Structure 1
Amino acid sequence: MTVVTPFYDKKNQCLSCKHSYSTTRIRSRFVKLAGYDSDFCPLYQSDEVNPLLYNVSVCPQCGFSYTDDFTAYIPPVLKSELEKKISLHWQPQDYGKIRSYEDAVNTYKLAAYCALIKKEKKVTTAGLYLRTAWLYRKIDDKEQERRFINLAAHEYIDAYVTDGASGSMMSETKLLYIIAELLRRQDKIEEAAAYLSKVISKQHLSNEPKIIEMARERWYEIREMHKEMKTM
C-alpha cells in the first residue's frame, strides 16, 4: 500500500533559462490552518507542513527565483540583467527538496531580488518582504522581522501612492489596512492611525467586513494606548 505524504514534486520550467526542474510542494489536504495574525500571517498547526516554506521556486541552474505572482514574460533587456546580476554569480544549489526555515528565508530573499531586477509590481515585492518577516517571526528573530516589515511597508506605500488599488492584486481596503498594520508594528502610531482612518472612512464602499472589523480593532488598540500614555 502506498503511503501518501504531505509533500510532492512539482515540475517547473525556469522562466529565465528554460531549464526543467522539480520543486517540493505541499498537498492542500494536509495543511491545517489554526488562524491568522493581525497582518494576515497564517498560523499553521504544523511547523513542517507549512506552505510558506515552499512558495518560491528556485532554478538550480541559473538561480532565477519566483512565485506564482510573477508575470511569466521577461523582456530580453531584463533577462540580460538577471543573467548579469544573478546567474553569473550563481553557485548551483538545489532548493527543490524539504526546506528548513533558513532555506525558505533564502528563497524569499532571492525572489525579492529577482522581482526588483525583473521590475515586478511593487505589491509582489512587498508580499515577498512580508512573508520573509513572517518566517523570521516564526524563528523569533525580532530584528530581522522588523527590518522586513519596514521593507514591506515601504513597497506597499509606494504601490498605493504610485498605482493605487487599481494597480494592485489587493482590494483598496486590504492594501490600506496592511499598510496601517505594518506601520503600527514599527510603532509609527500616527501614520498607522491615518491609514486606518482611510479604511474606516471607506467602509461603505467595501465588501470585506472582516478587514473593516480588524481595522476597528487596531484603531481601538491605538486609542487605548494613547489613553494609557496620557495617564502615565
Structure 2
Amino acid sequence: MTDNDVLKHTYDKEIVCPICENKFKVKIVKVNSPRITSKDSDFFIRYSVVNPYFYDVWMCNHCGYSSMKADFPKIKSFQKELVLDGITKKWTPRVYPESLTVDNAIERYKLALVTSMIIEKPNSTKAMILLKLAWMYRLKKDVEKEMAFLKQSITAFLDAYSMEDFPIYGMQRDSISYLIGELYRRTNNEKEALTWYSKVFSTVGASQKLKDLARNGKDSLKNNMI
C-alpha cells in the first residue's frame, strides 16, 4: 500500500504525551476503512485494506514513551520518572514512513513492550503486546518467532488471569479462558489446552459462541489440526 492509499484510509490526530507534554500527530485508521477478510481462532483479524494493527502503537519521538493507543494516556506519576530515567536518557528518535509496514509495526510493538516492563504495566498489557507481536510474525510467516511470542503471551495471560480484574481488554473470564486454551493448542500443549477449554464450559454465563470455539479447538486437537 502506497502513502497515498494510507492517506485515504487514515486521518491525523494530535496527541499530547503524558510524560513530556510534547505534542505530536498519530495516524488513526478510519472506522469504515478496514475490510475484514478472515478471523483466526485466537482472535487475530486479517484485513484486505489498511491494517489497523500497524498503527496500534503510539510513540512520542521526543521522550521515547511508547504504548498501545488504548493505554497511552494511562500514566501514574511514578511512571513518568521511570520513563525519563529508563528510556528518555537513551532515546534516539525514529523516522517512519507514512505507510507503516509489518516490520515497522514489530519495532513499535517491541518499543511498547520495553516501556511496559520499565514502567511496571499490568501483566495483561504485556500479554496483549506479546500476542500482537506473535500475530505480526504470523503475517511474516516466521513460525519460530510467532511461537516464541505466543508462549510468552501465555505466561503473561496466566498471571493476568489470576491477579487482575475482568474485563481484560474487553474480554471477560470466558474469553480469556478460551484464548489461553487456544494459545496452548497453537503451541502444541494439548493437556493445558484441554484444561482451559474445559474452563470455558464450566464458567457461569459463558457465551455459546465461546463454547463453540472451545469445542472446535478440542475437535482440532483430535484431528491434529492447527
Structure-2-length-normalised TM-score:
0.89
Counterparts of 1:165-180 in structure 2, within 5 Å, are 166=166, 168-169=168-169, 170-180=171-181
Contact kept, 8 Å, 1:159 with 1:167, in 2: the verdict is no
* 1:205 corresponds to: 205
Which runs of no fewer than 5 residues in structure 2 stay unpaired? none
Distance 1:95 1:63, change over 3 A: farther
Q: CA deviation at 1:219?
A: 1.1
Counterpart of 1:195 in structure 2 is: 196
- Once residues 100 and 120 of structure 1 are traced to their aligned partners in structure 2, the CA distance between those partners, rounded to angstroms, is 26
CA distance in 2, matches of 1:8, 1:142: 33
Is 2:216 the counterpart of 1:214? Answer: no
d(CA) in 2 for partners of 1:73, 1:39: 26
Give the partner amino acid of 1:220.
Answer: D
CA apart distance, 1:201? 2.1
CA contact (8 A) 1:33 1:42 kept: yes
Cα offsets for 1:52-111 (capped at 9, x unmatched): 000110111111011233163433332222112211111112347321111100111111
- Check if 1:128 corresponds to 2:129: yes
Aligned to 1:229: none
Structure 2 CA distance for aligned equivalents of residues 109 and 176 of structure 1? 25
- Residue-pair matches, total: 219
Show structure 1 runs of 4+ deviating over 4 A: none
Aligned-partner SS, 1:166: coil
Superposition deviation, residue 225 in structure 1? 4.0
Give the 5 Å matches for 1:36-55: 36-46=39-49, 49-55=50-56
SS of corresponding position for 1:181: helix
Closer, same or farther: CA 71–30 of 1 in aligned 2, 3 Å:
closer
Give distance in 2, aligned partners of 1:64 and 1:96.
19
Q: Secondary structure at the match of 1:9?
A: strand
State whether residues 23 and 97 of structure 1, in contact with CA within 8 Å, keep that contact through their aligned partners in structure 2.
no
Deviation at 1:147, TM superposition (A): 1.1
The AA in structure 2 aligned to 1:210 is: K
Alpha-carbon distance change, 222 to 26 in structure 1, aligned in 2, over 3 angstroms: same
CA RMSD of aligned residues (A): 2.0
C-alpha change, 1:166 and 1:8, in structure 2 (3 Å) is closer
SS of 1:137 mapped into structure 2: helix
Q: TM-score, normalised by structure 1?
A: 0.87
Q: Aligned residues: percent identity?
A: 28
* 8 Å contact from structure 2 (residues 16, 23) kept in 1: yes
3-state SS, counterpart of residue 112 of structure 2: helix
Q: Shift of residue 16 of structure 1? A: 1.1
Question: Residue 141 and residue 188 in structure 1: after superposition, are their counterparts in 2 closer, same or farther (change >3 A)?
Answer: same
Q: What are the within-5 Å matches in structure 2 for residues 25-104 of structure 1?
A: 25-46=28-49, 49-70=50-71, 72-95=73-96, 97-104=98-105
* Residue 12 of structure 1, aligned match among 11, 15, 36: 15
Provide the secondary structure at the position in 2 that maps to 1:29: coil
Q: Deviations over 1:170-202 (max 9, x none)?
A: 200100011111111111110111111111222
Given that residues 189 and 222 in structure 1 are in contact (C-alpha distance below 8 angstroms), is that contact kept between their aligned partners in structure 2?
yes
Given that residues 58 and 96 in structure 1 are in contact (C-alpha distance below 8 angstroms), is that contact kept between their aligned partners in structure 2? no
